Copies of this chain bind each other. A is one copy, B any other.
Amino acid sequence: MADFKIGGVVPPVVVPDTDDHRLDVPSFERLIERMLAAGVNGLFFLGSSGEVVFSTDERRREIVREAVRIVDHRVPVLVGIIETETDRVIEHGRSALALGADALVATAPFYALGGMAEVEEHFRILHRELAAPLFAYDIPVCVHTKLPWKLLARLGAEGVLAGVKDSSGDDVSFRYLIQENDALAHPLSILTGHEIVVDGAYLAGADGAVPGLANVIPGLYVEQWRAAQAGAWQRVKELQDRINEVSHIFDVTSGVQGYAGGVGAFKCALHLMGVFSSSQMPRPVKPLSGYNVEAIRKVLLDTGVLTA
C-alpha cells in the first residue's frame, strides 16, 4: 500500500444507463475495452462523472463488481468513495475493497462544513481504518472546501495519502503541490483532472491526468502522455489543441448546465459513436435531445471523431 504509484492517463469512467435506468453492462464493456485498447494506464470508477452521487449503494456495488470483472487486473482500478462524512465514507471504502478495488478516492467532507483540522482528521481516519492506497480528491466546486497544498504534501510525506486527484481549477496551488512533492521525494502520485490544460500540467511535472473526455477520445490522450514522456512538448501542445476542439461538445449545447451539460455531452457523444446504446441520464437529470444532439454530432464530425 505504501508503494502504490500511478501515472499516465487514468480516465474517470462514465457509466451507461439503459432507458429504464439499469446499468447497461454491454455498453460498459465496450467503453472499458476501447479505453484499454487505446493504452490507458488506469481507470477511475465512481468519480463525479461516474454517477457516484446518483447511485444507490446497491448500484455502486454493481458498478464496482462489473468494473473489476471487466478490467481483470490489466490496469489499476481506482474507486471513488464519495460521501458526506467520515463514517459513511468508510462504509463505501470497505465495500469497494471487498469487491477488488486497488485504490480509493475520497473528497473532503461536505454538506456540513467545519475547519481544516477536521478535514485532516477525516483523511487520517480513512487511512487508518481502510488500510488501502488513498487518493485525496480535491473538488471544491462540489464539496466547497479547497484542500491546501501544504496539507496534501504533509499527508503524503506521512504515508496517509498515496496521491491526489486535482479538480480544483487552482493551477497555482497545483503547481506548488508538485514542487513540494518533489522536494519531499515524491510520495504522492499527482493527477490533474483538468482535461483542457493537460499539456501545462505535464510540463509542470504532473504524474498523470484523469480526463473525462478520454472516455470519448482515449487515443489522443494516450498519445499526448507518450509525447510528454519523450519531452516532445510542442507535440504535447498540438495534441491538446486537437483535444480541445473536441471538447466543444461541452459548450455548443444550450438550455442545459452542470451535470446535464457535462456528463450529458459525454453520453450523447458515446451514443452517437455507437459505444453506448443509450444516452440516458440518472434521475432527475434528462438526456440531451433535439438541437443539442445535432450540435454535438457536428463537433464530432468536424473533428473527425465521427465520420459521415
Chain A residues with a Cβ under 8 A of chain B: 48, 53-57, 59, 82, 84-88, 91, 109-115, 117-119, 121-122, 125, 142-144, 169-172, 175-176, 179, 194, 196-197, 199-201, 203-205, 231, 233-234, 236-237, 240-241, 244-245, 256-260, 282-286
- Which DSSP category, helix, strand, loop or mixed, fits chain A's interface? helix
Q: A54-B87, A115-B258 are in contact. Are A175 and B197 (CB under 8 A)?
A: yes
Q: How far is the CA of A111 from the CA of B143 in the complex (A)?
A: 6
CB pair A196–B172 under 8 Å, yes or no, is yes
CB pair B203–A260 under 8 Å, yes or no, is no
CB pair B125–A111 under 8 Å, yes or no, is no
Query: A214: shortest Cβ distance to chain B, in Å?
Result: 16
Closest chain B residue to A60, Cβ basis:
B88
Query: A69: shortest Cβ distance to chain B, in Å?
Result: 23
CB pair A194–B169 under 8 Å, yes or no, is no
CB pair A56–B88 under 8 Å, yes or no, is yes
Closest chain B residue to A88, Cβ basis:
B56
CB pair A114–B203 under 8 Å, yes or no, is no
CB pair A118–B233 under 8 Å, yes or no, is no
Q: How far is the CA of A194 from the CA of B87 in the complex (A)?
A: 29
Q: A110-B111, A112-B142, A169-B170 are in contact. Are A175 and B204 (CB under 8 A)?
A: no
Cross-chain contact of A111 among B82, B91, B171 (Cβ < 8 A)? B82
